[in-house]
Amino acid sequence: MTINNIKSIPMIAGARRATVVSGPEESAQSKLEVPLTPPNPEVPEKPERRRFTAQYKLDILRQADLSREPGSLGALLRQEGLYSSNLTTWRRQREEGTLAALKPKQRGRKVAAPNPVALENERLRKENIRLARRLQQAELIIDVQKKVSQILGITLATPLQSEND
C-alpha cells in the first residue's frame, strides 16, 4: 500500500496532527495527516464503573438468543465490550422473573412499611387533642353561663351527684 492510496488515518484523541505531502503533486488526495505527538498513555486513577440499564440488558439477551451462527455470540460480546459472565447473570435474573433485579437499585434509605399500631396511635392522639379543645370550649361556655346567672340573680339547679363522683 502506497501513501497515495491512503485517504485518511484514524486519529487517537489528544494527538496533534501534521500534514505530509507525498511526491511532487500537492493535490488534496496526496496529503496525509500524521500524528506529531503520541497520545497521553496515563491511565485514570479510578476507572468509572459501567452501569447497564434494564432495557439494554434485555436487548443484549434478545440479540444473544437470536445469534445461531458459530462465532456470532462472541462477535456480539466483543462489539459491546461484555463478558460471558454478564450474559449468565442476566439470564439467571431473567429466568427468576425478577425484572426489578435488572433495574438499578434505588440508593438511600428504604421506605419502611407503615406500622398499623403507630397509625392507630396517631389517630387516637389527634382525636384526644380535638376532644380536649371541645372540652375547654364547653367549660368556658359553662363558666360564662354561671357568671351571667349570678349577675341576673337567677339560681341554677345543681345536678344530683352520684356516689362515684
Segments making up each domain of the chain, as ranges: 7-35, 54-102, 117-151
Question: pTM of the entire structure?
Answer: 0.37
Q: Which of 54, 44, 161, 153 minimizes the C-alpha distance to 103?
A: 54
Alpha helices in 5-115 (DSSP H): 54-66, 72-80, 84-95, 99-102
Among candidate residues 4, 48, 44, the one with its CA nearest the CA of residue 22: 4
Predicted confidence pLDDT, tens digits, the chain (165 residues) = 444 444 444 444 444 444 444 455 555 444 556 557 777 777 777 878 888 888 888 899 999 999 889 999 999 999 999 999 999 998 888 888 765 655 666 788 888 888 889 999 999 999 999 999 999 999 999 999 989 988 988 887 776 766 665
β strands within 4-152, DSSP E? 17-21, 31-35
Query: Half-sphere exposure (CA, 13 Å, Cβ side) for 96?
Result: 11
Identity of the amino acid at 7: K
